[in-house]
Amino acid sequence: MKLTLALAAAFAAAALAAPAYAGPAEDVIAKEKCNKCHTEKTTKKGPSWASIAVKYKGNAGAADKIFKQLKEGGKVGDEEDHKKVEAGDDVIKAIAAIVLSSK
Ligand code: HEC
């Protein structure tokens, strides 16, 4: 499948170019400029990934909730029109996993 190949290539390229950011999910986070409002540890306009992970600790539905939120965008908490992620479901799931595994 073409898309799978493209993703694999992107993964390989990212792994070569930047070992700290090693996958399509990290690429999308960079491309969509999520870090304008979120970073791993610092609260900016939005909460840090780590604080989101703490908020959802022990919540089995957290990954699904974040997946849906990122896929659909729109209202998130006090943010009236949260950014929607234009990417495949696998990539969006990977982003949710990155957020929830941050500390
Ligand atoms: C313009 C600023 C802005 C950008 C850009 C942005 N966010 Fe957010 N995001 C926010 C704010 C503000 C909140 C907190 C909303 C609240 O809980 O009141 C938030 C909340 C979240 C949450 C937690 C939601 C929850 O259920 O607690 C996640 C996950 C998230 N953002 C992911 C992302 C990702 C991934 C991107 C990039 C695709 C992104 N955000 C881009 C402002 C932003």
pLDDT single digits (tens) 44-55: 999 999 999 999
Number of domains in the chain: 1
Q: Is the CB of 23 under 6 A from ligand 1?
A: no
The model's pLDDT over 74-96, given as tens digits with 9 standing for 90+, comes to: 999 899 999 999 999 999 999 99
* CATH code where residue 79 lies: 1.10.760.10
C-alpha closest to that of 83 among 33, 42, 49, 47: 33
Max CA-CA distance within the chain?
A: 40
**pLDDT for the residue numbered 30:** 93
Nearest protein CA to atom 40 of ligand 1, as residue: 34
Confirm whether 12 is domain-assigned. Answer: no
Both tokens of residue 95?
Answer: 């982003």
C-alpha closest to that of 97 among 32, 40, 25: 25
Quote the domain boundaries for residue 72. 23-100
Confirm whether 2 is domain-assigned. Answer: no
Nearest protein CA to atom 6 of ligand 1, as residue: 34
pLDDT tier for residue 18 given thresholds of 50, 70 and 90: very low
